[in-house]
Structure 1
Amino acid sequence: MKSNSRVYAAIHLDAVEENFKQMKQNLKPGVKMIAVVKTDGYGHGAVPIAKLAEPYEYIWGFAVATAQEAFTLREEGIKKPILILGYTFEEDYKEMVKQQIRPAVFQYETARKLAKAAGELKKSIKIHIALDTGMTRIGYSDTMESIAQIRKIAALKEIEIEGIFTHFARADEADKTSALNQFERYENFVRKLEQSGLSIPMKHCSNSAGIVELPQMNLDAVRAGITIYGIYPSMEVKRDLVKLRPVMELKSCIVYIKTVDKGTPVSYGGTFVTPRKMRIATIPVGYGDGYPRSLSNKGWVLIHGKKAPILGRICMDQFMVDISEIPEAKELDEVVLIGEGLSVETLGELSGRFPYEFVCDIGKRVPRILEGK
């Protein structure tokens, strides 16, 4: 345990490095990788992850969700291309042009406004066309009307269409029918675009699950997201194909111990009442740190490698665990909240939350400590 640390997240950069290598081995020769670092690198820290990955020759660049995330990477010295996967607002267009940020475009009017902003700066801007093949989210539908609009965008002199992408809705399922259907729709649409006289140089479809299980969909580039951080996209994804190492450990310490009699209520609402005399430890972490309240009376932590069940409701800043069977436990001993023997996937199942959600929600008051490099 770090001295004077109420709670901290250890970010193992050597694990990040290994995860990139493992994914690279599963790609066809020449395929580039786009490292997705949105939501502050899925809660792990976008800047250190991007700085580690940028020197790799096979890393094309980075993908984020918002213009502000892109600007932060530029401010921190990231030089490689940055693609914004989500919606962008007109107020950011000129800065995006200046910083050479690539927006996703799925409406002609967006492209027209981007072209206007670029023209006023006497510059051009590269964009990626978003195609909806099954998410029913942002993106052009795969219709002839969309082809006409995209050709109209290509005619704007300040616009360079660098890429076209889609996103799989169900690639993390054992049954790949949905992903295969989406890929077929994508390829058919791109073929029709090319037949109309418009060829777009960079094509990318595969997300993390696609990288692991669908190498035939590599195309020019793939988008690596949750797998960078050592978390598999779902329990249905085959883990023997790409060996990932978890990047984050979350640790705290015991700050108080008391022994209470049978019949003592614990925490708000008294949802847990001691069935016998029990030794109880207080941990100075709560839902204010992103540790989910839904683990109340369900989850457990590790102390000296042993399970300590959570008792009662998790509070905003503290929760209690049973250490009756861990007699060696004492104040300031380390408590593992996420780590070896207690995975994010396990906690997700216990709390009813998605592993992506779990790590993304770990709050800003939890310091990230970089280790392993």
Structure 2
Amino acid sequence: MDAALIWAEIDLEAIAANIRALKALTAEGTRFMAVVKADAYGHGAVAVARQALAAGADWLAVARVEEGIALRQAGIQAPILVFGYTPPASAADLLAHDLAATVYDYDTAQAYSRVAVATDRNLRLHLKVDTGMGRLGMRPEVHHFSATGKAVSGNPVFVADAIAHLPGIVLEGVYTHFAAADHADRSFTLDQLERFTDFLDHLYYAGIEIPLRHAANSAATIALPDSHLDMVRCGIAIYGLYPSAAVGPGQVALTPAMAFKCRVVQVKAVEAGFPVSYGMTHVTEASTVIATVAAGYADGLSRRLSNSGEMLVRGRRVPIVGRVCMDLTMLDTGAVPDAQVGDEVVIFGRQGDETICVDDVAAKLGTINYEVVTGVGARVPRVYRSNPPGTQA
């Protein structure tokens, strides 16, 4: 029996192939940003970042400064953009590790500038514009307010210009994020794109030159070529998962990069009327076999799959019975009489001729594929099927 009781198997070649397929949708010269935030959506940020760059990615993106620092400490030298808010207190970290920051108000940019000047370095910024997401970003069409609520200027173009002229600041990018690019109805996304390009036009006419304009996420990269601009940003799609049922399938061929697996740790024959797991929410209706597997909610197997989910054992679907526990889960393997301790069990992925897709699991949970893969726990080892560039599996 293999010593590993649970693991996430990551196919790095699938990630490379997905990036190549996505890049093929863009015009020559369009840069490609691989989004590796949240530990590369659960796939392992360092290994994925290396593979993405080897496959042709030009930029990497993370959500928080600590994620960017971890990549730098692993020896990754490619440009990295921090999507989220970085407080001015962390500006020294941005500078020390050559990370580009997102900014959307003058006050923060000015605070960054002070730190940059004090350290005699330049800090690269990307101005984020809220064209309809309602999350982070400077609104392009209304009065701009500082973090204290004080009006800085009635024209956001003036704010962009003021940021661009701060000492120690290099405004190298401007971007927005689409709220509904994964919808079949693209009208709102087109409205957002129009708002963004209008803002870009105003910057141009004001003589403000910003080298990198970007808007397209995975869905827009696949379905909306007009949004590609200078760079596309792909997250979920590089991991072989489609943004939605409406965008992706039939438009580009992607290969899922993660399989989630565990092992059978006990098999027991039980009689009818046998209660299983906490709360006795499952009682066997006939004699059967219960297999206990080494996966639980602490590993990222949602408790909502209790008495409803399935796994693969010896190439056959078997039901989860009883409540999912913290470290263990029970399956009814009565239909798989040869199941035994040590057998590989697939939580999602392929085994034989059967597949449980991440989207199947997400549908049962009433959520999205993003949440399923990012939810695979930190204590679950990531095992790479092909060597990440510069490392050993």
1:261 to 2:261 alignment: no
Deviation at 1:343, TM superposition (A): 0.8
Deviation at 1:53, TM superposition (A): 2.1
Secondary structure of the residue aligned to 2:15 is: helix
For the Cα contact (< 8 Å) 2:276–2:282, is it kept in 1? yes
Match of 1:249 among 259, 275, 300: 259
Percent sequence identity is 39
When normalised by structure 1's length, the TM-score is: 0.97
1:270 to 2:280 alignment: yes
Q: Residue type of the partner of 1:369?
A: V
Deviation at 1:29, TM superposition (A): 1.3
1:354 to 2:368 alignment: yes
1:370 to 2:389 alignment: no
Residue-by-residue CA offset, 1:86-113 (whole Å, 9 max, x unaligned): 1002221012112211000001011011
Residue-by-residue CA offset, 1:54-108 (whole Å, 9 max, x unaligned): 244x522100000000000110011111000010022210121122110000010
Q: Which moved more, 1:90-99 or 1:319-328?
A: 90-99
Deviation at 1:266, TM superposition (A): 1.2
For the Cα contact (< 8 Å) 1:299–1:351, is it kept in 2? no
When normalised by structure 2's length, the TM-score is: 0.92
| CA–CA separation in structure 2 for the residues paired with 1:302 and 1:207 | 33
| CA–CA separation in structure 2 for the residues paired with 1:336 and 1:361 | 16
| CA–CA separation in structure 1 for the residues paired with 2:19 and 2:241 | 12
Deviation at 1:173, TM superposition (A): 0.9
For the Cα contact (< 8 Å) 2:2–2:342, is it kept in 1? no
- Give the aligned partner of residue 90 of structure 1: 88
Q: Residue type of the partner of 1:202?
A: L
Q: Which moved more, 1:145-154 or 1:280-289?
A: 145-154
Give unpaired runs (5+ residues) of structure 1: none
Q: Which moved more, 1:294-303 or 1:93-102?
A: 93-102
| CA–CA separation in structure 1 for the residues paired with 2:239 and 2:54 | 18
For the Cα contact (< 8 Å) 1:54–1:78, is it kept in 2? no
Residue-by-residue CA offset, 1:153-198 (whole Å, 9 max, x unaligned): 1121211110100000000111111111110010011111222221
- Give the aligned partner of residue 293 of structure 1: 303
1:144-223 pair list within 5 angstroms: 145-223=155-233
Root-mean-square deviation (CA), in Å?
1.2
For the Cα contact (< 8 Å) 1:298–1:351, is it kept in 2? no
- Give the aligned partner of residue 308 of structure 1: 318
| CA–CA separation in structure 2 for the residues paired with 1:86 and 1:110 | 13
| CA–CA separation in structure 2 for the residues paired with 1:328 and 1:261 | 18
| CA–CA separation in structure 1 for the residues paired with 2:281 and 2:258 | 31
For the Cα contact (< 8 Å) 1:96–1:102, is it kept in 2? yes
For the Cα contact (< 8 Å) 1:6–1:252, is it kept in 2? yes
- Give the aligned partner of residue 3 of structure 2: 4
Give unpaired runs (5+ residues) of structure 2: 142-153, 388-393
Residue-by-residue CA offset, 1:255-307 (whole Å, 9 max, x unaligned): 11112221222111111111111211001110011111111111100011101
Secondary structure of the residue aligned to 1:54 is: helix
| CA–CA separation in structure 1 for the residues paired with 2:98 and 2:311 | 45
Q: Residue type of the partner of 2:381?
A: P
- Give the aligned partner of residue 102 of structure 1: 100
For the Cα contact (< 8 Å) 1:302–1:335, is it kept in 2? yes
| CA–CA separation in structure 2 for the residues paired with 1:282 and 1:82 | 43
Match of 2:137 among 115, 139, 142: 139
| CA–CA separation in structure 2 for the residues paired with 1:81 and 1:116 | 23
| CA–CA separation in structure 1 for the residues paired with 2:155 and 2:285 | 68
Residue-by-residue CA offset, 1:112-167 (whole Å, 9 max, x unaligned): 11111110111111100000011100100012532221111112121111010000
Q: Residue type of the partner of 2:288?
A: M
| CA–CA separation in structure 2 for the residues paired with 1:303 and 1:123 | 57
Deviation at 1:16, TM superposition (A): 0.7
- Give the aligned partner of residue 54 of structure 1: 53
Secondary structure of the residue aligned to 1:228 is: helix
For the Cα contact (< 8 Å) 2:33–2:59, is it kept in 1? yes
| CA–CA separation in structure 2 for the residues paired with 1:238 and 1:125 | 36
For the Cα contact (< 8 Å) 1:294–1:352, is it kept in 2? no
| CA–CA separation in structure 2 for the residues paired with 1:55 and 1:317 | 37
| CA–CA separation in structure 1 for the residues paired with 2:89 and 2:138 | 23
| CA–CA separation in structure 2 for the residues paired with 1:64 and 1:216 | 25
Aligned residue pairs: how many?
371
Q: Residue type of the partner of 2:231?
A: A
| CA–CA separation in structure 2 for the residues paired with 1:59 and 1:280 | 47
1:34 to 2:33 alignment: yes
| CA–CA separation in structure 2 for the residues paired with 1:270 and 1:204 | 53
- Give the aligned partner of residue 331 of structure 1: 341
| CA–CA separation in structure 2 for the residues paired with 1:351 and 1:113 | 43
Q: Which moved more, 1:231-240 or 1:221-230?
A: 231-240
Deviation at 1:199, TM superposition (A): 2.0
Secondary structure of the residue aligned to 2:155 is: helix
| CA–CA separation in structure 2 for the residues paired with 1:261 and 1:14 | 46
